[in-house]
């Protein structure tokens, strides 16, 4: 009962804090992306890279900037890993190939990791403290944590401009949006967050490790790392990649209950506040409130269902033990573990403070379903907002079909072009998940990577491709993904799952911006009230249910009922 009360208080305080920062942070981000003034450091960067900040771009040029910047980032991060022995603070680390330790990162792992961090997925198929030196961690992974998050926000802002503007083919300037996201938002906020985490006990060291003597007298070395700085942006930017293999379950990354609570707050705060930014930029704050209400209801329901499943386990071992504590840190317990797990799978963060593979069938299914909804509750930085806006467009279109009128959203008519772009955006992820998981299960040699058979083994494979295609990065840990098949297919799923929806969203934004605003008529569906919120929430659940129910029935549902 005490842990239940503590958990409920934690949820209540978390919601209260998010509500308190919702308006000021949302307004600040709106000013960041609408201000005509440039900071001096931004102007210096524009001169250095020969960018004209006053030149606005069509959606095709904006998309070319996103793709070009991301491609260059993949190449640079790949080369940093392959050339790690030449870098300072390499510490002699590297991957093990055919049971032989090397001081560099193997090509497959380097490709997968480069794609993972550039796409804001942060999937890790390696042990970070054994494979990567401090320079690659700081100058490679942490930098991508910042800029990949900034790219996501920039795309969301471009879509908002598509709704807000009229009779133009310009969506802003990608390089300006990217720079402002880094300079005005992510860097200063993550710097403050890193100081707070450092004060809470998160380690920050450039030493390789510290020698300790165990209770049995054996000598061991505990790896150290500059963890506080990466931990801050990994949560704030909904990235999720850990600097230690145990991720946020490691006491060096997440030492106590207070740090755990602060990290949950960090991974939720920007996605939640971006709905306010949306409302401010389209000059109707109620529109943002509807979206955040849908996100909040889904998040609350999923926290409750997963908590109920973990508190009432159905397996013989957990029943005998009295609780499902395997795979969880005792300093967090079930409530804090579930709150973190549902929040991280709902925000495409991928950080974990407990092992999702150890959850009961019901709770593990909730974390999986959270990703399969498209991670819009509240979703990743930027990605969550443009994801739920795409689903809102689908909801308006369906409502228009019901009443026989041309659907309209925020004064823009939704025709064939707009609905096609929205459909492409929401169909990419299910295609990647189902095709990838189907191939992995169908090929006999890939089954050797599974440590579990039956429904749970299938859930592990389905979870892996759901995580990759949704750019989440968490995993059911019972699957070994270091083979070439998984490295390649999961890497492709990350790339397509990130950039195909982005291209569709930018095309959608361009088509909306070209339209002239139409005044609402008698048959226009109001989109700033409870009815529309129910319609959007129903669309989110219905699309996922129709698409993934058969696969879920073979995995987590079968396990929960066994």
* Average confidence (pLDDT) per 10 residues, the chain, 562 residues: 83 97 98 96 96 96 98 97 94 77 85 96 91 94 96 98 96 98 98 97 92 84 91 96 91 95 97 98 96 97 94 66 74 92 94 90 91 93 96 93 81 94 96 94 77 83 94 85 87 96 98 92 85 94 88 87 78
Rounded to a whole number of angstroms, the distance between the first and last alpha carbons of the chain is: 28
Locate tokens 């996100």: which residue? 295
- How far apart are the C-alpha atoms of 256 and 249, rounded to whole Å? 10
pLDDT at position 178: 98
Question: What beta strand segments (E) does 442-562 contain?
Answer: none
pLDDT at position 321: 54
- How far apart are the C-alpha atoms of 465 and 460, rounded to whole Å? 9
| Contact call for residues 414 and 393 (beta carbons, < 8 A) | yes
499, two tokens: 């950039």
Stated as kind and residue range, the H or E segment containing 219 is strand 219-223
- Tell me which DSSP letter residue 456 carries: H
- How far apart are the C-alpha atoms of 490 and 315, rounded to whole Å? 31
pLDDT at position 400: 85
pLDDT at position 307: 93
| Contact call for residues 481 and 503 (beta carbons, < 8 A) | no
Of 275, 349, 350, which is closest to residue 528 (Cα–Cα)? 275
Cα 101 from chain centre: 32
540, two tokens: 């989110």
Helical H segments across 49-186, by residue range = 59-82, 107-118, 128-131, 134-135, 143-164, 174-180
301, two tokens: 């329901």
Give the Cβ contact number of residue 164 at 10 Å: 20
Q: Is 464 exposed, middle or buried (0-12, 13-18, 19+ CB in 10 A)?
A: buried
348, two tokens: 């495409």
Number of residues assigned to the chain: 562
Query: pLDDT, tens digit, for every residue of 376-426?
Result: 999 999 999 999 999 999 999 998 887 767 789 999 999 999 999 999 999
pLDDT at position 146: 97
pLDDT at position 320: 54
- How far apart are the C-alpha atoms of 82 and 26, rounded to whole Å? 40
């Amino acid at each position: 009962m005490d842990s239940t009360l503590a958990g409920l208080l934690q949820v209540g305080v978390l919601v209260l804090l998010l509500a308190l920062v919702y308006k000021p942070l949302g307004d600040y981000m709106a000013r960041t992306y609408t201000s005509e003034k440039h900071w001096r450091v931004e102007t210096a960067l524009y001169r250095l890279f020969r960018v004209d900040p006053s030149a606005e771009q069509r959606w095709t040029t904006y998309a070319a900037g996103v793709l070009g910047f991301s491609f260059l980032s993949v190449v640079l991060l790949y080369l940093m890993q392959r050339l790690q022995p030449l870098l300072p603070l390499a510490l002699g680390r590297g991957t093990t190939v055919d049971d032989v330790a090397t001081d560099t990162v193997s090509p497959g792992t380097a490709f997968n990791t480069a794609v993972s961090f550039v796409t804001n997925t942060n999937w890790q198929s390696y042990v970070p403290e054994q494979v990567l030196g401090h320079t690659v961690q700081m100058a490679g992974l942490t930098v991508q944590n910042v800029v990949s998050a900034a790219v996501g926000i920039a795309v969301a802002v471009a879509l908002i401009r598509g709704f807000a503007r009229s009779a133009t083919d310009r969506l802003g300037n990608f390089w300006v949006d990217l720079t402002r996201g880094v300079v005005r938002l992510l860097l200063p906020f993550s710097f403050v967050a890193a100081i707070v985490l450092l004060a809470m006990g998160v380690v920050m060291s450039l030493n390789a490790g510290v020698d300790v003597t165990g209770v049995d007298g054996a000598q061991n070395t505990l790896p150290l790392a500059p963890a506080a700085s990466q931990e801050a942006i990994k949560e704030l930017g909904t990235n999720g990649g850990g600097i230690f293999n145990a991720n946020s379950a490691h006491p060096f990354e997440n030492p106590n209950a207070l740090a755990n609570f602060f990290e949950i707050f960090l991974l939720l705060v920007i996605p939640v506040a971006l709905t306010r930014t949306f409302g401010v930029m389209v000059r109707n704050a109620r529109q943002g409130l509807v979206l955040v209400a849908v996100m909040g209801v889904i998040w609350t329901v999923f926290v409750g269902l997963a908590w109920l499943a973990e508190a009432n386990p159905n397996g013989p071992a957990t029943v005998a033990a009295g609780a499902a504590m395997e795979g969880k840190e005792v300093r967090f317990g079930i409530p804090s573990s579930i709150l973190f797990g549902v929040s991280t799978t709902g925000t495409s963060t991928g950080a974990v403070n407990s092992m999702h593979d150890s959850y009961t069938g019901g709770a593990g299914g909730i974390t999986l379903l959270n990703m399969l909804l498209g991670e819009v509750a509240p979703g990743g930085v930027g990605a969550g907002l443009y994801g739920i806006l795409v689903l809102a467009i689908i909801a308006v279109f369906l409502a228009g079909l019901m009443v026989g009128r041309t659907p309209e959203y925020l004064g823009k008519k939704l025709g064939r072009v707009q609905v096609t772009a929205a459909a492409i955006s929401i169909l990419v992820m299910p295609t990647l998940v189902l095709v990838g998981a189907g191939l992995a299960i169908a090929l006999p040699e890939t089954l050797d990577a599974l440590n579990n058979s039956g429904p749970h083994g299938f859930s592990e494979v389905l979870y892996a491709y759901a995580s990759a295609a949704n750019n989440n990065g968490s995993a059911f840990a019972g699957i070994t993904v270091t083979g070439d098949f998984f490295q390649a297919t999961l890497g492709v799923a990350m790339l397509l799952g990130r950039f195909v929806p982005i291209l569709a969203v930018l095309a959608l934004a361009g088509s909306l911006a070209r339209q002239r605003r139409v005044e609402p008529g008698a048959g226009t569906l109001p989109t700033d009230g409870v009815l529309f919120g129910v319609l959007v929430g129903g669309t989110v659940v219905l699309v996922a249910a129709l698409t993934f129910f058969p696969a879920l029935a073979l995995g987590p549902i079968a396990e929960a009922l066994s």
